[in-house]
Structure formats: structure tokens, C-alpha cells
Structure 1
Amino acid sequence: MTMASVKAGIMNSASRISALSNNIMNNTINQNLPIASNIISDDVGWKAKLCLPPKDNRKKTEDVTETKGNEFEDFCIKRELLMGIFEKGWEKPSPIQEASIPIALLGRDILARAKNGTGKTGAYIIPTLQKVDLKLDYIQALIMVPTRELALQTSQICIELAKYIGTRVMVTTGGTSLKDDIMRIYEKVHIVIATPGRILDLMEKNVAQMDKCNMLILDEADKLLSQDFKEMLDKIISYLPKDRQVLVYSATFPLTVEQFMRKYLKGPYEINLMDELTLKGITQYYAFVQERQKVHCLNTLFSKLQINQSIIFCNSTQRVELLAKKITELGYSCYYIHAKMSQQHRNRVFHDFRAGLCRNLVCSDLFTRGIDIQAVNVVINFDFPKMAETYLHRIGRSGRFGHFGIAINLITYSDRFSLHRIEQELGTEIKPIPKVIDRSLYVAELQHDENDERNASK
């Protein structure tokens, strides 16, 4: 099977580009959505009339359950926003949401550190939507993220939460039509979700008017404050008003974050929920292999594991494509994604994988930042990373929002020092892979919330 046939297999999904992607990229969202007054007028029974998704009965870890017991209603959030929250399937705030939302609503700057997959996106989107004034036809909040895929995902969450409000949300990233973005931004939007390069371009062209934008949110702040983006970020902030509110969220906080805090944040409220770095629900294994044995080992894993969806990481774009070809030749469904692909192709792969149209995704580190696909229960490091930070973000694609998953690392002789160093730096344990992996560690059907089981027994 040729590389062309692998690409053709992926490109065959062109006719299925989801309406979701088209809505996000080509429209200003929620502009004319009617408020569900027939639902919210009933003060007593409004919750009973919501269209709630099926209850998730899987057991959750303390990463998301160890709260003070607050409810979303305790934050004095408007009814229409609560409706969007509950219809999204969010039943109670996670620890980062509980700690962050009331402080953000007070208007204070925030510097928040929490694990991957514990609800950081909701922690800043909920107060942002609450604070936006729909009567004002200008940009009131700018949410910055480092990758295009994360921008799309974040905007979709924002749109879903705002479904009964009427907030106008726009996403703008590189790799898409600048002309289309200019047309959409002139239609007046309240919230812009963007990657740094594109929004700076719109600001410098005097298209994106940010002089009244009083909220700036940085998600995956450690990446945004790296050398790749720092200069652009300084220019972007220069266009914002001096009395802006700044919310900063990340899992890892290098020295650059502290420097940014001293320069731009005013008496920030600091939140640190990182008592340990790795998610409690992820079990980590390693298998010592020779380089030429890796594909055979991967084939064995595919045959023995009960994979719902898996993400497989390589250290270069060339190896991503080669491995995707090998996996397809072995007879398994497989997509691949990396930064050198066209943006249209990346969007299609991302949305189709998220929709469950393919079981396995091979990718580069493009996909390590904030991507939340609940169905992923297995992460495989086909190539072991050199940096602890990269490893932390990779394995965080599994075990999202307190659920369980496994991470398997294929370790060559040259990786052995990196393995021990990353274990020490993260304060975590990566175990030798057993002959049989307990399926309850990563298979959803075998994970049930103990409280729900007790209630059912009563």
C-alpha cells in the first residue's frame, strides 16, 4: 500500500466535513439564536425541561471530584448560561472551576495552574460569557491559544455553553482566509478566540478593534509565552486597554510565566492545584524494544488492548506519515496529522477523528496542547520524548476529566536515560508493561461511579 493510498483514505472523508467545522470557521456564531424564553420563564421546573445528555456513570478520580461541594448555581450565573452548562453535560464544577470562576467574576487577574483535562477551559469561558454585555457591539474578550485545533475546540465549547444567551463568538486562526475573517469581524462579535499570528494581523490592519476589549485570557500559557509567540503577545497586549482583566491558565509554569505576571498582571489571585503533575487516572507503562521491533510491538498492542480510540506520538512529521502507512498496511484504521499539512486537511482529520470515524491517530506534538477527546483511552509514545513537559502533555490526552486511561511508552536503549529523568522530574512512576493489562484501568464499560452504584443498590 502506497503513501498515496493512505492519503486518499483520509481525503475520502472530504464529503463528510462536518457542519460543525463549517459553522465555526465560516460564520459568526449565535448571532440570531432565539432565547428559550418558554423554558426559562418557569422558575421552578426549568431544569426538568432541559435536553440533558446521558449521565456519565464512569468512576472519576480526585482530580475532578475533590471540591468544596459548590454547585454552578452558587456562582450567581444567569439562567441562560446555566442551561448551556447543564446541556453540555457539566453537572458540578471541578476544583479549578470552583476556585477560579468566582474570582474571575469579581474582575481580578488570575494566575491558575491545574492539570491537563481537569476543566480549565470551562473555568475561564463561564465567567467570560457571564461578563459579556450583549448590548455592546464590540469585542469584549480575547481568548488566546497556541494551536489552530485548540482554537476550534475552544470556540465550539464556548458556542455550546452560550446557546441560550446569544453571545456572538468568532474563531480566527492562521491557514484560513483572511478576507473571510475580515468580513466576519465587521459583523460585530463579543468574544474572539484566536491564535497569536492571525489576531495580530487583524489588529495591525485596524480590522480587529481591541481598545475596549477588557478581558484577555491565555490558555496553555507556557506555550504562548515561549519564544515562538512572546514577541507577538507583547504587541497584542499593547492594543488592549490598560484596565484589562488578565486570566492565565496552564499546567506547567516555566520562568517566562513569572516574568509575564510581573509585567502585565495586577495583584493576581494565584491558584495552584498541582499537588502532583500527572493525572491520577492514567497508568503509565514502558516496554523496552529495539527500534526495528517497534512496529511489531505496536501490532501486538493493537491485538491485545481494548482500544476505544488511541493517539500515537512520533517525534517528527516524516515518521508520523511513515508510521501511519505501516499501521494501515497492518489492517487497522488510521489517520495522521502534523503541522506541515494544509489547514483544511488538518481540520478534516481533527473533526472526523473527534467524531469517532477512525480509531487510531498518529501525530506530532502539534496535538499535545489541550485537545480534549473523551473517547481516547490509550496514548502510545511510539517515539519517547526528550522533555518532561512534552511527555506530560502527551499522556494528558488520555484520562480526561477524571476518567481512566493508559499511556504506553516504547523505549529503546538510547531512551533509557530520558525515561529515568522524566520519572524523577515529574515525580511519577512508569511501570514495566505486564503481560496482561487490567482492562478496568482504561475500559469505560468497566468503570462505574461508586456513589451511583450505592444509590442504585438502595
Structure 2
Amino acid sequence: MLKQFETHFKTLGYREPTAIQTAVYEPLASDHNVLGLAPTGSGKTVAFTLPALANLLPGDGTQLIVLEPSQELAIQTSRVMRDWAKLLDLQVLALTGGANVKRQTERLKKRPEVIVGTPGRVLNLVTDRKLKLHLVSLLIVDEADDLLTGETLDTVRSIAQAAPADVQLGFFSATDTPILHELDQWFGQTVERIDVREQDQTQGVVRHGLLQVGMGKRDQMLKRLLALPNFRALVFFKQASTLRHTATKFYHEHVSAASLTSDLRQVQREKALQDFRQGRIRLLLTTDVAARGLDIPKLPAVINYDLPTQVNEYVHRVGRTGRMGEPGQVISLGDDHDLRDLKKLLKETDYELVPLYFNGRALSTERPVAAKKTSVATPVANRTTAQAPTETPVAKPQQRQSRTGSNAVPVPTPTKKKKHKNRHSKNKGMRKKWRDRDTQK
């Protein structure tokens, strides 16, 4: 590690490098193609930043491309890399979709050494010849398990093909997927696999709880959770329509919440994320696409409003809390059927799912016991007096007694129902009287 990096490392309060940072530094610095697998929150961004920046030449044009799956993650990564790059007089530029293209093109004229962007925007600028990759020596694909799927895989490969044939490749991910075992075939180069998920010790104690709540009462449960002291949570939705419905309701009810979705403008997304990080809002409603890889320091909880359907989704969601040794809480909402399916989905993992119950203003793993109603017994000494009959009831005139004896229960005398005469029946009788009178005449 460079001396500048060592000094800054200590300034930031880090005691020692994490397992992934130690494992990939030498291979990346030595121009090896690397696949780094490490848990969420283990410092993967710094792991590829330090060796990648160490080989760059200031003022020599764009030499490093880092691809991220979302605008938020690209901006977050660019800020981390910029903090280290300034120690070596290197420039970092973020290129994301949704931002002003002309402004990005003008900044490219300053020839930044590092580009951090989303695949779509980077490829568009390469195709338009606004971004030239002939000097690129290293291509980093972060969140590779997500980027190397569907159409995005073709986009990433196109960017790699636009770079020099001997470009160095780096792939990083928290979860393993089948395509990560086929990188040699897809990119035509041998990739060294470095997996430190078993050795990593950065994850804090995270409790995984199941809270049985029906779909119609989940919004109400979110508001009840806000009554917990110092509670903040990243809330994951499956459908954007459900998220918007909850966000609109919370807005009118003045609940401390904001949305983070892919259809919002970049300025709105940045503001929501910044407000959440600084504690101005307490619930950030989001989807898997928008919140993947986000680093939110000391996040107390993650809530699964809609349960994930794949193990990788659950891993990345819960990885937002319990980062860098901090404790965390995962709360999964659903009915009995939903929670049973989640247990079945995660049965091959090490996650221990326990039932949660809301007792007053606290979450507990113990089922609340309903208070039993205590009946007051009549004292034995007074029981005869209390149960003795006072006087035999006398039948009222309008009641008649049955023939079984004097102790029979009085039966009320049925009253004759008065026949109602309407105007039509009255006129009918008058008409008959008139007809009889005319006949007599």
C-alpha cells in the first residue's frame, strides 16, 4: 500500500484492512484479472480503489472505468474514490443516466483519469465518441452478479470490447451466481477467483425477525415501529405501485418518510438519500433496483414490506444493516403463509429467523400473554343469604300461568295485532256502499 494511502487509512479511523482488501490488493496491483467475493459491508469499494489508483498516471487521460448498477451506487462509489484519488492528484468523474449529457461531455474534455458510471450511459458516450477508451488499462465491474444478467451483460461486454484487448478485468460481488463461474468464456480472459466470505469478520450481530402482519395493516405497522426510540429503517417493496401508494399516504399523514425509486429525477433521489443518511427522515421506501449496494452508516434496521423471492435478494437487502461491526435488525412482514415460504426459501442459509411480537413500544421474541379475567367468589358465610329468594313473584293481571303449578314461569298474554287500514281499503269500502245505494234506486 502506498504511504499516502496508509496515512489516510489511519486518518479515517480504520485499524486494519478487511479480508477482501488484503486478499485482492497484490493481484490487482500486479495486473491480474480478479473476481472478488466478500459479504456486503466488507469494504469492497476500497478494496479495488487502492490498487487501481496506485497504477494510474496523473494527466494521462482516462485509464480506469468502474461500472455500477444504479445512479446512487455510482455517485457513492465516485465520492469514495475521489477521496483517495485527490491524494495522487487524480480526477474522478461520475457518468450516470438521468444526468445532463452536455454537462458530462464538457467535463470529459478535462480528461479525468477515473470514470465511474452506469453501463448504459457509458456505452452511449462511447458510441457517440465522446468517451474514448483506448488508454483504459483496468475495467472494474462492481455488483457483478447483478450487472452480468440480461441485456446489461451485453452492454458490459460491449464496453469491454471497446477497450484495448489486454485490458485488465476486476469483478466484485457479495453473492455467487452461475455466470461468475463462466467469466473466462464471456470475456475471453482467465480470471482469478478470490472468495473471502467465510473468513470475513466485518459483519455485526444482525437479528432476523418475522412479524406476522396482513397486507392491509402493514402501513399501520410501519407507523407503530416509528414509536421505537431512535428507529430508522430502509423499507423494501417488490412493486413500485405499492410503494407509491404507501408514500402518498404517509405524505398526507405527515409521516417521516421518503421514496427512492428509479423513476425519480436524480436530484430527487440524491435529496431523499441525503435526508435519510442525516436523520431528517426515518423511513426510506425503496426497491431492490434503487438500493442495491448502498452504504448507510449505522443503519438500525431493514424492513421487508414485500418478501423477497430469491436468496440473493434477501442477502443484498439485509446487507444494508450490520455493516462494519454495527448491530442490526431485519424485520420481515407477512401473513402466516408468506413467512412460511420465506423460511423455506432460506432453509439452506445460515440465517436464523425468529418470530417477533410488538409489545407496547418494544419488539420482543416472546409471545404476549393475554391477561385472564378473575371472578370474585362469594364468601361461604354469606352464600345462603345471597342466594335466598326474597319473595314469590305475583303474576300480573295481563299474564297467565300455565297449568303445571304455582312455580310455573308467567307467560305473557298475546295481544291482538291491530289491523292497519290504509286509504285504499277505506275508499274501496265506500265505493261498494255507493254501488249498493245506486242499485236500490
TM-score, structure 2 as length reference: 0.77
Q: Which residue of 2 aligns with 1:66?
A: none
Separation in 2 of the partners of 1:184 and 1:198?
A: 14
Compute the displacement of 1:227 (Å). Answer: 0.3
Compute the displacement of 1:289 (Å). Answer: 1.8
Q: Which residue of 1 aligns with 2:31?
A: 107
Instruction: Report the CA distance shift for 1:425/1:327 in structure 2 as closer, same or farther (over 3 A).
Output: farther
Within the alignment, does 1:176 sit opposite 2:82 as a pair? no
Counting only pairs closer than 5 Å after superposition, residues 39-78 of structure 1 correspond to structure 2 as 75=1, 77=2
Separation in 1 of the partners of 2:273 and 2:184?
A: 33
Q: Which residue of 1 aligns with 2:160?
A: 237
Compute the displacement of 1:120 (Å). Answer: 0.5
Q: Which residue of 2 aligns with 1:54?
A: none
Q: Which residue of 1 aligns with 2:342?
A: 419
Q: Which residue of 2 aligns with 1:297?
A: 221
Which of 8, 21, 24 pairs up with 1:97? 21
Q: Which residue of 2 aligns with 1:116?
A: 40
Q: Which residue of 2 aligns with 1:384?
A: 307
Q: Which residue of 1 aligns with 2:149?
A: 226
2:347 maps to a residue whose letter is Q
Separation in 1 of the partners of 2:265 and 2:356?
A: 37
Is residue 204–residue 323 contact of structure 2 (8 Å, CA) maintained in 1?
A: no
Partner SS, residue 248 of structure 1? strand
Compute the displacement of 1:382 (Å). Answer: 1.3
In structure 1, runs of 5+ residues without a counterpart are 1-74, 440-458
Partner SS, residue 197 of structure 2? coil
Is residue 302–residue 321 contact of structure 2 (8 Å, CA) maintained in 1?
A: yes
Q: Which residue of 1 aligns with 2:121?
A: 198
Q: Which residue of 2 aligns with 1:80?
A: 4
Structure richer in helix, relative to its length: 1
Separation in 2 of the partners of 1:83 and 1:133?
A: 21
Separation in 1 of the partners of 2:35 and 2:288?
A: 25
Superposed CA offset, 1:252-283 (max 9, x none): 12112222233326443221122399955211
Query: Which entry has the higher C-alpha Rg, 1 or 2?
Result: 2
2:356 maps to a residue whose letter is I
Moved more, 235-244 or 261-270: 261-270
1:359 maps to a residue whose letter is R
Superposed CA offset, 1:136-175 (max 9, x none): 4211110011101000000000111223221111110110
Separation in 1 of the partners of 2:123 and 2:292?
A: 21
Q: Which residue of 1 aligns with 2:130?
A: 207
1:214 maps to a residue whose letter is S
Superposed CA offset, 1:316-338 (max 9, x none): 11221222234445553111111
Separation in 2 of the partners of 1:427 and 1:228?
A: 32
Q: Which residue of 2 aligns with 1:409?
A: 332
Within the alignment, does 1:431 sit opposite 2:354 as a pair? yes
Partner SS, residue 150 of structure 1? helix
Which of 341, 344, 353 pairs up with 2:264? 341
Q: Which residue of 1 aligns with 2:212?
A: 288
2:248 maps to a residue whose letter is K
Superposed CA offset, 1:34-91 (max 9, x none): xxxxxxxxxxxxxxxxxxxxxxxxxxxxxxxxxxxxxxxxx3x1x3333433333333
Compute the displacement of 1:424 (Å). Answer: 1.4
Identity across aligned pairs (percent)? 26
Aligned Cα root-mean-square deviation (Å) = 2.2
Is residue 94–residue 119 contact of structure 1 (8 Å, CA) maintained in 2?
A: yes
Superposed CA offset, 1:424-443 (max 9, x none): 1433211111555589xxxx
Instruction: Report the CA distance shift for 1:261/1:421 in structure 2 as closer, same or farther (over 3 A).
Output: farther
Superposed CA offset, 1:314-366 (max 9, x none): 11112212222344455531111111112221122223322332222111123
Q: Which residue of 1 aligns with 2:430?
A: none
2:354 maps to a residue whose letter is K
Which of 313, 321, 328 pairs up with 1:398? 321
Within the alignment, does 1:130 sit opposite 2:61 as a pair? no
Separation in 1 of the partners of 2:285 and 2:187?
A: 38
Is residue 223–residue 255 contact of structure 2 (8 Å, CA) maintained in 1?
A: no
Is residue 88–residue 161 contact of structure 1 (8 Å, CA) maintained in 2?
A: no
Compute the displacement of 1:403 (Å). Answer: 1.6
Count, aligned residues:
361
Is residue 299–residue 330 contact of structure 1 (8 Å, CA) maintained in 2?
A: no
In structure 2, runs of 5+ residues without a counterpart are 366-441
Partner SS, residue 88 of structure 2? coil
Separation in 2 of the partners of 1:414 and 1:341?
A: 33
Separation in 1 of the partners of 2:228 and 2:277?
A: 23
Separation in 2 of the partners of 1:146 and 1:385?
A: 19
Is residue 368–residue 390 contact of structure 1 (8 Å, CA) maintained in 2?
A: no
Partner SS, residue 304 of structure 1? coil
Moved more, 91-100 or 266-275: 266-275
Is residue 81–residue 130 contact of structure 1 (8 Å, CA) maintained in 2?
A: no
Is residue 117–residue 402 contact of structure 1 (8 Å, CA) maintained in 2?
A: no
Instruction: Report the CA distance shift for 1:88/1:433 in structure 2 as closer, same or farther (over 3 A).
Output: same
Separation in 2 of the partners of 1:438 and 1:338?
A: 32
Moved more, 208-217 or 261-270: 261-270
Instruction: Report the CA distance shift for 1:356/1:297 in structure 2 as closer, same or farther (over 3 A).
Output: closer
Superposed CA offset, 1:432-456 (max 9, x none): 11555589xxxxxxxxxxxxxxxxx
Superposed CA offset, 1:191-240 (max 9, x none): 10010000101111112110120101011001110104011111111111
Separation in 1 of the partners of 2:306 and 2:203?
A: 21
Separation in 2 of the partners of 1:405 and 1:357?
A: 20
Higher relative contact order (Cα pairs below 8 Å, separated by 6+ residues): 1
